[in-house]
Chain A
Amino acid sequence: MATIEVDGTSYEVDGDRNLLDACLGLGLDLPYFCWHPTLGSVGSCRQCAVRVYANAEDTRGRLVMSCMTPVTDGQRLSIRDPESQAFRDKSIEVTMANHPHDCPVCEEGGECHLQDMTIMSRHTERRYRGLKKTYTNQYLGPCISHEMNRCIACYRCVRFYNDYAGGKDLAVLASKENVYFGRHEDGCLESGFSGNLVEVCPTGVFTDKTLSRSYNRKWDLQSAPSICSSCSLGCNISPGERQGRIKRIVNRYHHDINGYFICDRGRFGYDYTNADQRIQHCSIRQSADVTEEAPDYRDAINAIAVELAGAATGGNLIAIGSDRLSVEANFALQTLVDEDNFYSGMDPVQHQLLQSVLGIYRRPGIHAPTLREIESADAVLILGEDLVNSAPRMALSVRQATRNLSFELARKSQIPLWQDTSVRNLAQDRRSPLMILSVAGTDLDAIASLRLSAAADDIARLGFAVARCLSDRAPAVPNLSPDLESTAAGIADCLLRAKNPVIISGTSCNTPSVVESAAQVAMALSLAKSNGQIRPSWLSYVLPAANSLGLAMLQEGNDDNHLERAMQRVLANPGQCTALILQNDLYARAEPSRVDAFFGNLKSCIVLDQQPNRTTDRANILVPTQTDFETEGTLVNNEGRAQRYFEVFATDNPSLRDNWKTIANMAKAWVNPGTGQGLPESLLALARCENFDDLIALLKNRGGLFGHWDRAAPNAAFRIAGLKIPRMPHRYSGRTSLRANIRVAEAKQPEDRDSPLGFTMEGAPINIPGALTPGFWSPGWNSGESLNKFQDEINGHLKGGDPGLRLLQSPAATDMSAATSSDWFSVPAATPTAANGRLLAVSLPRLFDGEVLSALSPALAQRAELPQLEIHPETAAAVGLVEGHIATIRLESCQLKLPLRFNPRVASGLVAVPADVKTAGILPPVLLPAAVTIE
């Protein structure tokens, strides 16, 4: 710590920071452009000048750029002295000389850092009368607009895109005052993190094209704290809504998870909620071809209740949950049909995988690291996971983790870590070790110290071998080639030498041995590193969906209820069962012919879903559900953190109710006609749930992992100064005119009885708990940079506390020497080499079209590559296939035709099948890996 004196007031600040960082952290207003909390300082914009005095007697001082000046103890500086103010005014005048007069038609206007800083620097009048520089713009794809005229050459975009996110196709072109930030030619920005340019750019060079289609200013967008449900990481987001449509998503800072950045799938994948094709009304199908469209919601619920009551008395009621929906919705369903009749909707392998992940996370010696912790790791081992596609934000963290060596070097050379260019120059290409074992290569391979492609079981065997190298007590791996033996030894050595190694694996391979081998490595590592005191190893799993772990928790102890069990039960009692399916397209979950058989043998099928799909086509009663933007719930992310998301806006469609509420209404309708005699108490309790907090209280009563469920976020009674937290910005416009064309008398604002947020602009947006912060704004700071007013220090925790509740805390250090052989996982056999035209098909996760809902967004669909089968050229030669050939894969009844592409990074003997939504409908990825015929 150091003490600095700013304009006569003394403050305690962190001595490792620069002056700008320290001042902003103290809540002082100091303009800046090129500095960014995570991108460090480059000192190019000259906007953060302050006057620093040499000592207590010095009255003249000197101007310095605060972002390039380290904090020293006893430093005296002035932000407000006239000379530095005048300097900043002149500086921004020059910066603005060529800036176009297009704020009214700029998407950044109203949340523009340049606007804010211009006002803050008190530059109010333009004196430059010369010609203004202009640039031609580029087409940068369906997500990002480009308007180079607005550029102030802060270099933030390339520093983020290239240096931070590892992008290759954005560069600084030309020279001198002609510098141009763009691609070498028109074309879509390739990086999966390009959307962050929108927030990184301090002005409107890069703007959100999906927002621009039907643009609204920041002050007109209603927001609520939300959680991205496009992958299992649980990034915090802030969606903006106007007139019933989600207009855009911006990052919502979470210290431990997403920090300042989210991936493009999360940012641009919201359009499914606005889709015209969405299911808007209930429908009841009396017979095969007669559909009663749009019955009243009540009628549909009553019809369902009759079905449920009938089926339940015969013991023929089953329900299938969804790993994409909230814990509460699944819990309500589970309570409705009773635990034994509730099935996860996952195939047995995936179901077991998740149960074992849950078990592994709770073992001693294992700690599920946050993304922030992964960033601090100095050695990373990835087992069978293509992070860029399956958990993109984690890939970004892993990329930062490889920089820890450069920080180490910088510390040795006494270079401050925020001296970004210096640190990068010092390290050059030296990186912390990143070891990637994958089936078909990954986009992180370029920065990996070790990359190896192999079939899933072979990856697992190598993992087990590493574990064996780390600890003699782990079982040995038979029949391992000497090459792999030495690789394993190398990995083990690397992990042992690292201070904070992290092991990352996941369910993408759909192979239990991979998950187990990662756990084995972690356990062996804990043992190897234990020094009397156990230090848990960091082990992170990437999971299939946003709430996979939450669903696994709900089924803990009843862990055999997967989709296959449900199907068996239906097929054993043909024409008897009634199934209640909660937002889950079963055709992507099991072999389609088997799903057909399942539906064919049902007595009645009730489906709750938001988008039409093949499962909803089979529904006898269909009830629309709300998207995550329209309801509230809790998701459990891959590290076991329960995070609550809230309704962004209230729909005015009477058939669209909260998912949990619809299920509770079913319970109510079921209980009401009778007296409730003979019905289980839990069902009666569900029927009594009037609001979200009632349901949470029920869930809390389950105890165990759910014992503190209500702590994930404050309940609906929470108030600040007697008022709810406003979802609307305080200057939300058009209240008396938005709906005036329908009815000139203003309607009452919708009430929200389920959360402490209101559909209003009333309420003071101050001291809001982190979990309830809809977005960031502070007086004078209209852009996202206002975040610094909400952090306890720059890049630190939110003042209101980090959102979410870690359910899986690493157990207290126990003596691992007690570990018995039963604690170790057994080693699988090696994958046999391909023979007689059969290859092992594996599934490859896809970033833009790999997730069922976000893939519906036109912007993402446009960015997705065409699905192709990937194969190693030698393997192809062995089975006699040529590149570009439309190959046919057959697996059981599935038949998939896709063009073939050679990719030398695919392990030999494998054919990689893309897991995009379309392909998954033909060949569900859960069936893979499996030996297939290909021709």
Chain B
Amino acid sequence: MSQIGRAVYLTWDYTWSTLRTLWDVASHTFAKRDTVEYPDEMPYLAPRHRGRIVLTRDPEGNERCVACNLCAVACPTDCISLQKTEDETGRWYPEYFRINFSRCVYCGLCEEACPTYAIQLTPDFEMAEYNRQNMVYEKEHLLISGPGKYPDYSFYQVSGKAVSGRAKGEGLNEAKPVNVKSLLP
């Protein structure tokens, strides 16, 4: 008998759940719409929204990018390429920096990989072009004049590498260079 009881219960259960589902869905008829009617109405994009990629400068106004290639290797679509070069004081910077936005998926892995906060994604996504070739951005298109989301960080201050205006031992948390000729213990 319990089998029949179970069958009755299941029939009831299924029927009820079906009807309840129908009611739940129907009850949305007069709910508020979630859709934001872009472009009539511009949505709010958080500062950390992953849109157009920029290259930032450090607080001193120098290019932050040191051409370490980590963004390029982190990129799942291999759409970043750059070439390291250096100035006469040994400061690394990219000779060219190219992002093929027609391949970019805005995953933000480049930003995560960047050890100098140079590459940052910004809340701008309106980059459509009629000609795909225009989606290729070079350094002059990418480089902005400010520090972006991280106003204070300056890589060469903590790198321990001597560059212009900052000799060995002049960075943050650095001791004066070792005097090799000293015989003191």
Binds B, one of A172-180, A599-607, A790-798, A878-886: A172-180
Whether, in the assembled complex, B161 has its beta carbon less than 8 Å from a beta carbon of chain A, the answer is yes
Whether, in the assembled complex, B100 has its beta carbon less than 8 Å from a beta carbon of chain A, the answer is yes
B180 close to A173 (CB less than 8 A) = yes
Binds A, one of B21-29, B48-56, B77-85: B77-85
Q: Please give, as numbers and ranges, the residues of chain B lying within 8 Å of A243 by CB-CB distance.
A: 83
Q: Please give, as numbers and ranges, the residues of chain B lying within 8 Å of A741 by CB-CB distance.
A: 98, 136, 138
How near does chain B come to A71, taking the closest CB pair, in angstroms?
Answer: 39
Tell which of B81, B84, B115 touches A737, judged by Cβ atoms closer than 8 Å: B81
Q: Please give, as numbers and ranges, the residues of chain A lying within 8 Å of B159 by CB-CB distance.
A: 100-102, 104-105
With A134-B169, A744-B132 known as contacts, the answer to whether A178 contacts B178 (CB < 8 A) is: yes
Q: Please give, as numbers and ranges, the residues of chain A lying within 8 Å of B82 by CB-CB distance.
A: 734
How near does chain A come to B163, taking the closest CB pair, in angstroms?
Answer: 9
How near does chain A come to B69, taking the closest CB pair, in angstroms?
Answer: 5
- Give the residues from 78 to 104 in chain B that come closer than 8 angstroms, CB to CB, to chain A: 78-86, 92, 95, 98-100, 102-103
Chain A residue, CB-CB nearest to B95:
A214
CA distance A535 to B174 in the complex (A): 64
CA distance A219 to B70 in the complex (A): 10
Whether, in the assembled complex, B107 has its beta carbon less than 8 Å from a beta carbon of chain A, the answer is no
Whether, in the assembled complex, A127 has its beta carbon less than 8 Å from a beta carbon of chain B, the answer is no
B98 close to A133 (CB less than 8 A) = no
CA distance A129 to B158 in the complex (A): 13
B160 close to A176 (CB less than 8 A) = no
Whether, in the assembled complex, A302 has its beta carbon less than 8 Å from a beta carbon of chain B, the answer is no
A180 close to B158 (CB less than 8 A) = no
Whether, in the assembled complex, A736 has its beta carbon less than 8 Å from a beta carbon of chain B, the answer is yes
A101 close to B158 (CB less than 8 A) = yes
Q: Please give, as numbers and ranges, the residues of chain B lying within 8 Å of A653 by CB-CB distance.
A: none
CA distance A182 to B99 in the complex (A): 41
CA distance A769 to B5 in the complex (A): 72
Whether, in the assembled complex, A412 has its beta carbon less than 8 Å from a beta carbon of chain B, the answer is no
B161 close to A102 (CB less than 8 A) = yes
Chain A residue, CB-CB nearest to B85:
A214
With A105-B66, A736-B79 known as contacts, the answer to whether A176 contacts B135 (CB < 8 A) is: no
Q: Please give, as numbers and ranges, the residues of chain A lying within 8 Å of B121 by CB-CB distance.
A: none
Chain A residue, CB-CB nearest to B167:
A136
A174 close to B182 (CB less than 8 A) = yes
Whether, in the assembled complex, B155 has its beta carbon less than 8 Å from a beta carbon of chain A, the answer is yes
Chain A residue, CB-CB nearest to B70:
A104
Whether, in the assembled complex, A11 has its beta carbon less than 8 Å from a beta carbon of chain B, the answer is no
Chain B residue, CB-CB nearest to A739:
B81
Q: Please give, as numbers and ranges, the residues of chain A lying within 8 Å of B180 by CB-CB distance.
A: 135, 173-174, 178, 180, 182
Which of B69, B86, B102 counts the most chain A CB atoms within 10 A?
A: B69
A134 close to B84 (CB less than 8 A) = no
Q: Please give, as numbers and ranges, the residues of chain A lying within 8 Å of B183 by CB-CB distance.
A: 175
How many residue pairs bridge A and B at CB < 8 Å? 141
CA distance A743 to B131 in the complex (A): 12
B168 close to A136 (CB less than 8 A) = yes
Whether, in the assembled complex, A733 has its beta carbon less than 8 Å from a beta carbon of chain B, the answer is yes
Whether, in the assembled complex, B35 has its beta carbon less than 8 Å from a beta carbon of chain A, the answer is no
Chain B residue, CB-CB nearest to A215:
B84
Whether, in the assembled complex, B43 has its beta carbon less than 8 Å from a beta carbon of chain A, the answer is no
Chain B residue, CB-CB nearest to A128:
B173
How near does chain A come to B89, taking the closest CB pair, in angstroms?
Answer: 12
A735 close to B173 (CB less than 8 A) = no
Chain B residue, CB-CB nearest to A738:
B81
A733 close to B75 (CB less than 8 A) = yes
How near does chain A come to B141, taking the closest CB pair, in angstroms?
Answer: 11
Q: Please give, as numbers and ranges, the residues of chain A lying within 8 Å of B72 by CB-CB distance.
A: 220, 733-734
Whether, in the assembled complex, B116 has its beta carbon less than 8 Å from a beta carbon of chain A, the answer is yes
Q: Please give, as numbers and ranges, the residues of chain A lying within 8 Å of B2 by CB-CB distance.
A: none
Whether, in the assembled complex, B143 has its beta carbon less than 8 Å from a beta carbon of chain A, the answer is no
A735 close to B115 (CB less than 8 A) = no
Q: Please give, as numbers and ranges, the residues of chain A lying within 8 Å of B181 by CB-CB distance.
A: 174
Tell which of B68, B85, B115, B160 touches A132, judged by Cβ atoms closer than 8 Å: B160
How near does chain A come to B28, taking the closest CB pair, in angstroms?
Answer: 43
Tell which of B138, B155, B160, B176 touches A149, judged by Cβ atoms closer than 8 Å: B160
0 or 1 for each of A98-115: is its CB under 8 Å from B? (1 = yes): 001111110001100000
CA distance A842 to B92 in the complex (A): 48
Q: Please give, as numbers and ranges, the residues of chain B lying within 8 Å of A109 by CB-CB distance.
A: 68
Q: Please give, as numbers and ranges, the residues of chain B lying within 8 Å of A182 by CB-CB distance.
A: 180
Q: Please give, as numbers and ranges, the residues of chain B lying within 8 Å of A738 by CB-CB distance.
A: 81, 98
Chain B residue, CB-CB nearest to A180:
B180
Chain B residue, CB-CB nearest to A217:
B69
Whether, in the assembled complex, A131 has its beta carbon less than 8 Å from a beta carbon of chain B, the answer is yes
A147 close to B161 (CB less than 8 A) = yes
Whether, in the assembled complex, A137 has its beta carbon less than 8 Å from a beta carbon of chain B, the answer is yes
How near does chain A come to B159, taking the closest CB pair, in angstroms?
Answer: 4
A737 close to B100 (CB less than 8 A) = yes
Q: Please give, as numbers and ranges, the residues of chain A lying within 8 Å of B80 by CB-CB distance.
A: 733-734, 737
How near does chain B come to A66, taking the closest CB pair, in angstroms?
Answer: 31
A216 close to B85 (CB less than 8 A) = no
Whether, in the assembled complex, A740 has its beta carbon less than 8 Å from a beta carbon of chain B, the answer is yes
CA distance A132 to B98 in the complex (A): 35
A137 close to B162 (CB less than 8 A) = yes
Whether, in the assembled complex, A731 has its beta carbon less than 8 Å from a beta carbon of chain B, the answer is yes
Tell which of A176, A219, A731, A735 touches B185, judged by Cβ atoms closer than 8 Å: A176
A133 close to B175 (CB less than 8 A) = yes
How near does chain A come to B18, taking the closest CB pair, in angstroms?
Answer: 50
A135 close to B69 (CB less than 8 A) = no
How near does chain B come to A269, taking the closest CB pair, in angstroms?
Answer: 23
CA distance A734 to B133 in the complex (A): 16
How near does chain B come to A284, taking the closest CB pair, in angstroms?
Answer: 36
Whether, in the assembled complex, B73 has its beta carbon less than 8 Å from a beta carbon of chain A, the answer is yes
With A105-B92, A109-B68, A736-B103 known as contacts, the answer to whether A134 contacts B177 (CB < 8 A) is: yes
Chain B residue, CB-CB nearest to A219:
B73
B69 close to A216 (CB less than 8 A) = yes
Chain A residue, CB-CB nearest to B99:
A737
Q: Please give, as numbers and ranges, the residues of chain B lying within 8 Å of A216 by CB-CB distance.
A: 69, 83-84
A135 close to B75 (CB less than 8 A) = no
CA distance A534 to B102 in the complex (A): 72
Tell which of A101, A178, A737 touches B98, judged by Cβ atoms closer than 8 Å: A737
A104 close to B155 (CB less than 8 A) = yes
A744 close to B100 (CB less than 8 A) = yes
Tell which of B66, B132, B178 touches A134, judged by Cβ atoms closer than 8 Å: B178
Q: Please give, as numbers and ranges, the residues of chain A lying within 8 Å of B98 by CB-CB distance.
A: 737-738, 740-741
Chain B residue, CB-CB nearest to A735:
B78
A744 close to B160 (CB less than 8 A) = no
CA distance A731 to B176 in the complex (A): 39
With A100-B160, A733-B78 known as contacts, the answer to whether A134 contacts B174 (CB < 8 A) is: yes
B115 close to A103 (CB less than 8 A) = yes
CA distance A7 to B125 in the complex (A): 54
Chain A residue, CB-CB nearest to B158:
A101
Q: Please give, as numbers and ranges, the residues of chain B lying within 8 Å of A134 by CB-CB distance.
A: 160, 168-169, 174-178
How near does chain B come to A535, taking the closest CB pair, in angstroms?
Answer: 53
How near does chain B come to A741, taking the closest CB pair, in angstroms?
Answer: 6
CA distance A134 to B66 in the complex (A): 21
Q: Please give, as numbers and ranges, the residues of chain B lying within 8 Å of A174 by CB-CB distance.
A: 178-182
CA distance A731 to B66 in the complex (A): 20
CA distance A129 to B176 in the complex (A): 16
CA distance A109 to B60 in the complex (A): 26
CA distance A311 to B115 in the complex (A): 66
How near does chain B come to A45, taking the closest CB pair, in angstroms?
Answer: 20
With A149-B160, A736-B79, A737-B80 known as contacts, the answer to whether A180 contacts B69 (CB < 8 A) is: no
CA distance A743 to B134 in the complex (A): 10
- Give the residues from 177 to 224 in chain A that come closer than 8 angstroms, CB to CB, to chain B: 178, 180, 182, 212, 214-217, 219-220
With A174-B180, A737-B78, A744-B102 known as contacts, the answer to whether A102 contacts B160 (CB < 8 A) is: yes
Q: Please give, as numbers and ranges, the residues of chain B lying within 8 Å of A731 by CB-CB distance.
A: 73
Can you offer 10 A-B residue contacts whose CB atoms are under 8 A? A102-B160, A131-B173, A174-B178, A174-B182, A178-B178, A214-B85, A220-B69, A731-B73, A736-B78, A741-B138
- Known contacts A134-B160, A744-B133, then 10 further A-B pairs from the complex at CB < 8 Å, ordered by chain A residue: A103-B68, A105-B68, A129-B173, A136-B168, A149-B161, A175-B183, A734-B75, A736-B79, A737-B100, A744-B135
